[in-house]
Each structure stands twice: as C-alpha cells, then as structure tokens.
Amino acid sequence: MSSQPISVVTGANSGIGRATAVHLASVGHDVYGTVRSVTKAEKLNAMADAAGVTVALVELDVADDASVAAGFDEIFATAGRVDHLVNNAGVGGNAVVEECPPALFDEVMNVNLNGVIRCTQAVLPQMRERGSGTIVNVTSVVGRLAALAQAPYTASKWALEGVSEQLAQEVAPFGVRVAIVEPGVTKSAIFAKNIDTPNSTGAYEVQYRRMFQMYAAGMAHATDPFEVAAVVQHAIETDSPVLRYPVSWAGPEIIAGRAALSDEDWVAMGTIASDQEYIDRFREVFGVDIST
C-alpha cells in the first residue's frame, strides 16, 4: 500500500479537475482521476506526461449509482484506501426560473449535488473508521450569489454549499475534514459548453444578456485552473483549515459584496433598466468590472 497520500479527483478530464489531478500528482499524491470515458482523456494524459507525473484513470459517471460503486471498488482494490476526495465533476445550466423545466433541474442536481453525495458516501466509511481524510467540494461563487438566469446551476451549487456545511459538522468528530472551494470564473470548457438558454417566453432578454455579459467579462480575465488546484492542495494540507475558500476572478469580491448587500438592495438591482447602469452598480457593489 502506498505511503503517499491517495487522492481522487472527479471530473478530471477538463478545467479545474484536470489541473487539480496533475497538480496533486506533481506534489507527491497518488492521484486517481475519474473520467466518463478513458478513451477521451488525451489532454489529461498529455498534461500529465508534460508534467512528468502519472494520473491513474478510472472510468466513472458521477450521475450513476452503479458506475460510482464500480469505480470506487476499482480504486479501493488498487489503492486500498482514499485519503482525500476532491468532488469537482459538474455541469452548467442556464434558464430563468419561469422557463426552466423541472427535468433540467433534475439533470443538473443529479450531477452537481447527487454526484457529490454518491462519491462522498463511497469514501466516508473508511475515512471515518481510519479517523482521517479530507473531502473537498468544488462549488462556485454562484453557490453564494443567486446569479441571473442560471436557475438549475444556482440551485445545485446552493444545495451543495448547504450539504457541505452540514457534512463538515457531522464528520468532524471522526477526524474527517470538509473544505468548500468556491471558484469565480476559471478557464474551463464548461463555459464553452454552457451557451444555451430556453428564452421560450421572450420576456427575459435582459436577464440572459446580463448573465452572458458577466461571463464574457470573466472569460477575458479568467483564472488559470492551476491557481484553483493550488487552493485545493492548501485546503488538504493546511494545519489551519477553514471551511470556505473563495478563489478565481471575481470570486472573493462577489461573495464579500453580496454578504454586505441587503436583500432589498439585491432585489432592487433587478429593476435597473439600463445595461450601463447595471454594470456601474455591479462595479459599485462588488468591485468587479463586467464591461466588455
């Protein structure tokens, strides 16, 4: 059995997951990266090769009970244990509440919330019995701010924040730590894939436009995912842990700004008619420039 820390990173085939898998391997972890298809992991393999490290690939779909069970059976059979679990796998989802079919909520929640629960339940018994372990849940700035026109994504990340906070207290007596990493806009394929909107009523053009405005500005300044990976490493290894780690472009600023803003002032932002006035107010409240 390896004397090195054994870490599992879900959704390791792109973005934050890929960077985290490679980064943890580069600092001495034995890393198992879960991917939905091993045959589509060329970029992950190339990045690992370039870094001179190995990331063991495990085919696993976090949205499926049987797949998660089989994937972790494979990991335990090979590694014997899991010291650290990084729940990173996730999908986006755009829609205002009125236009979002319940099926889309179900689909996004099944990956972003239930996928985390499946993987966490797979590792917790042995962590609890051993009296050590870390579970890092990658949420989002959208887990702390109800972002416009992203109802299913927002719902899933708020739910994951709540479950993570509850879990942290539940497992603390067993020596298991929970960390919540909250990225703002980070370079990732999720944004290129997340461009659809229902817009079925035609009534919410402004809301969709302002959502894309923020992400367009963010992508121009997007944080390198290896910066998030370094935060994940810190959350795992620090002797002075905290529960939440805001990171990436606009993440800390938006979270702090929303905490300082009254609910009434937050709602009032929705009544601003002019896009330029909205951009100016966003800068005033959050200290973030979303003009493009």
Joined tokens for residue 251:
């993440």
Cα 19 to Cα 182, 187, 210, 269, 277, distances in angstroms: 16, 10, 29, 36, 37
d(CA 152, CA 155): 5
Rounded to whole angstroms, how far apart are CA atoms 175 and 168?
10
Query: How far apart are the C-alpha atoms of 177 and 175, rounded to whole Å?
Result: 7
Asked if 153 is an active-site residue, the reply is: yes
Q: Exposed (0-12), middle (13-18) or buried (19+): which is 227, by Cβ within 10 Å?
A: middle
Element (H, E) at 96: none
C-alpha dist (Å) from residue 221 to 47, 103, 189, 288: 22, 33, 15, 11
Of 153, 204, 245, 278, catalytic: 153
Return the amino acid letter for 142: V
Q: Catalytic residue positions?
A: 153
